[in-house]
Structure 1
Amino acid sequence: MSNVYDKAQELKKAIAESEDFKTLKTLHEQIGQDDIAKKMLDNFRQLQLDLQRKQMQGEQISEEEVQKAQQQFELVQQHELISKLMEAEQRLSVTIGDVNKIITEPLEEIYGNPDQQ
């Protein structure tokens, strides 16, 4: 079983050494040094968390809240650093999703693929 953990450590290292991760880390550091960008991003992320929390608690999200979130998203997308960060996050998220799909393939042999049911 330790071989599985060794491979997981290798995968962790490969992700940390990937260009997508390095780009994400650099952009994150740059935003951390830009007070305006950091505040904009923090506000946007807090709004996202608040809306997710409401959804998870079964509360209805108002049209006003949806519009506010859309406006915040459009605002942060206009900031070059934040836009690049979000693109980098998306690329890394796709990679991690692909890796997750690969490593769960053995379970599909037993339980089937839920996407195909």
Structure 2
Amino acid sequence: MANPMDKAQELQQELRNSEEFAQLKQLHEDINNDEVAKKMLDNFRGLQMQLQQKQMNGEQISEEEVQQAQQQFEVVQQHEQIMKLMEEEQKMSQMVSEINKVVTQPLEELYGEGEQE
């Protein structure tokens, strides 16, 4: 019988070796080597984190903060490499989400049975 952790390690290695991960890694390196792009992305992500933290704390986000976030997004949208990175991150996130769905399906079936009856 296969050990689930061994299979998880195999899956991790498959992800590391995937074309999608290689593309994502290259885009990260490209942006990290471009001072302007790195600063733009860091500023944008920092602002995103601040706003998410406020939401998690139940704090209201001001109209000014919303406008600032929109302006930051408009700035990063102008940078082709950043947009490519964000697209690839979205693709990877979708893949991981789909993998998670497959992996947790037995639990969904187990716990979902009681709700259906």
Given the two structures, how large is their TM-score scaled by the length of structure 2? 0.92
Unaligned runs of 5+ in 2: none
- Residues 45-104 of structure 1 show CA distances to partners (whole Å, capped at 9, x for unaligned) of 000000011011110001111111111111101101100000000000000000000000
Q: Matched residues in 2 for 1:86 and 1:13: separation?
A: 23
Paired position in structure 1 for 2:93? 93
Structure 1: 5+ residue stretches without partners: none
Q: Shift of residue 112 of structure 1?
A: 1.5
Q: Do structure 1's residue 4 and structure 2's residue 4 form an aligned pair?
A: yes
Separation in structure 1 between the aligned mates of residue 103 and residue 95 of structure 2, nearest angstrom:
12
The runs of at least 4 aligned residues of structure 1 exceeding 4 Å deviation read none
Tell whether 2:77 aligns with 1:77.
yes
Alpha-carbon separation, structure 2, partners of 1:15 and 1:25: 12
Q: Distance in 1 between matches of 2:13 and 2:70?
A: 36
**RMSD between aligned residues:** 1.4
Deviation of 1:2 after TM superposition, in Å, equals 6.6
Number of residue pairs the alignment of both structures matches: 113
TM-score if structure 1 supplies the norm length? 0.92
Q: Report the counterpart of residue 17 of structure 2 in structure 1.
A: 17
Query: In 2, Cα distance between the equivalents of 1:74 and 1:20?
Result: 26
3-state SS in 1 of match to 2:106: helix
**In 1: Cα distance, 2:52 partner to 2:27 partner:** 25
Q: Residue 58 of structure 1: SS of its match in structure 2?
A: coil
Map 1:1-80; keep pairs closer than 5 Å: 3-80=3-80
For residue 27 of structure 1, what is the amino acid of its counterpart?
L
